[in-house]
Homo-oligomer: A and B are copies of this chain.
């Protein structure tokens, strides 16, 4: 399980054996059942989480009780309420497991230590965040410039490998659409493909 993490890191930076040995004890393994919370809004997010297996989502709940999904994280992704993790203020997001999931977690303190002791990890996270920023920029742009249909089609393309693992109403929630809207888009496409 730790190997999944090391493999992921070594795709971006080189680690020496002693560095790997230093890293290992900083992570805590944990299993989550389907629907189990990893974090609830108004708690403090104490750990950064790496997904070794399974699927998680982060989401916030608005005044009217509607859920808005912020991120899906599956094998090889990191997830957290970054704001809360960095400031140690109350989290705004909930994170829970959509499947049986196995994760590796590192605490705020150990994360600081890790980046200070292993400069390659500063570099790893720098590259990781860099890529993440590109994704967020794209998503933000899509949210203002695209129609519901364009958003859905783009999502279906980008998330093709795990599309089957995400129920439609959660895709809707991620895209800021009503589930009915996704349903209608799909129907329209079906009939168009047939004709």
Q: Does A107 contact B (CB under 8 A)?
A: no
Interface with B: A49-57, A138-146, A158-166, which one? A138-146
Q: How far apart sit A48 and B115, CA to CA, in the bound complex (Å)?
A: 24
The residues of B that contact A188 with a CB separation of less than 8 Å are none
Interface residues on A, range: 20 to 34
The residues of B that contact A125 with a CB separation of less than 8 Å are 126, 130
- Closest residue of B by beta carbon distance from A59: B141
The residues of B that contact A131 with a CB separation of less than 8 Å are 86
- Is A140 touching B136 in the complex (CB atoms < 8 A)? yes
Kindly provide the distance from the CB of A72 to the nearest chain B CB, expressed in whole angstroms: 14
Q: Does A133 contact B (CB under 8 A)?
A: yes
7 A-B residue pairs with Cβ-Cβ distance under 8 Å, sorted by A, are A60-B145, A68-B144, A70-B137, A122-B126, A133-B133, A140-B140, A144-B176
Among A130-184, those with CB < 8 Å from B are 130-134, 136-141, 143-145, 176
- Is A144 touching B141 in the complex (CB atoms < 8 A)? no
- Known contacts A62-B145, A129-B126, A176-B143: does B136 contact A83 (CB below 8 Å)? no
The residues of B that contact A130 with a CB separation of less than 8 Å are 82, 86, 125, 129
5 shortest A-B CB distances, which residue pairs? A129-B129, A144-B176, A126-B126, A119-B119, A136-B136
- Is B134 touching A86 in the complex (CB atoms < 8 A)? yes
Kindly provide the distance from the CB of A17 to the nearest chain B CB, expressed in whole angstroms: 20
- Closest residue of B by beta carbon distance from A116: B123
Q: CB-defined interface of A39-72 with B at 8 Å, one 1/0 digit per residue?
A: 0000000000000000000001010001010100
Q: How far apart sit A123 and B119, CA to CA, in the bound complex (Å)?
A: 8
Q: Of B126, B136, B144, B176, which one neighbours A137 at CB under 8 angstroms?
A: B136
Q: Does A73 contact B (CB under 8 A)?
A: no
